[in-house]
Structure 1
């Protein structure tokens, strides 16, 4: 809802800022994986189980990447919860079912942490299937 003068509410502004900050964080993470020689297969892939921020190909492996941002890398890491990991794992299973080798495909789950300055740290094999 907008104010009578057409301006946005504080909540709308926070939501828009969070959306754009998330997009910038995902773009920074994409660049890191591309510099490593990985190809990005999907951005914000959505299945019935939930959304996966990035899906990249690292050689034969399919890598499911959850991007978390915070003021610093430590605070970004605290934003990933077990319930969310289970949703990501469920969505990853759906995605793997679309591949020729299905659930036998080589895969891993990474968490990409992004600080407020755009610094990125990748935690490979951050969690397994729930």
Structure 2
């Protein structure tokens, strides 16, 4: 049985690979500061995107996207601001996306990409 960390890492790897295949440029993975962690920071064209990845093996405890609460979004906004303040480059557009990954017992992973989560 896979641990929560292994399941989460698998979901993040899957999402990072899909983003790159879609032409995105991944700038950071698992960027950390004293306020927390950003799973993926990437460029979608000229837009900087912080991607929160939530991975579940089933919906027994709710869907992956349900784990992104209002409080989590508030923390993600603070983390994005911290990441941006550490950069020399400026970005005209910034958004937060959520990638909800479900890993069924059989078959391919199901990935739902929610863009511009408010």
Fold equivalence (TM over 0.5): yes
Gaps of 5+ in 2: none
Distance 1:61 1:47 in 2: 22
Question: In the TM superposition, what whole-angstrom CA distance separates every residue of 1:52-94 from its partner, at most 9, and x where no partner exists?
Answer: 110111111110000112215x711111111111111101001
Matched, 1:108 2:108: no
Divergent runs of 4+, >3 A: none
- Is the strand fraction higher in 1 or 2? 2
Alignment partner, residue 85 of structure 1: 73
Alignment partner, residue 17 of structure 1: 3
Alignment partner, residue 61 of structure 1: 47
Alignment partner, residue 76 of structure 1: 64
Alignment partner, residue 35 of structure 2: 49
> Are the counterparts in 2 of residues 64 and 108 from structure 1 also a CA contact under 8 Å?
yes
> Are the counterparts in 2 of residues 30 and 40 from structure 1 also a CA contact under 8 Å?
yes
RMSD between superposed Cα atoms in Å: 1.8
Please, what TM-score do these two structures have when normalized by structure 2? 0.84
Give 3-state SS (helix, strand or coil) of 1:78's partner. helix
Gaps of 5+ in 1: 1-12
Shift of 1:26: 0.3
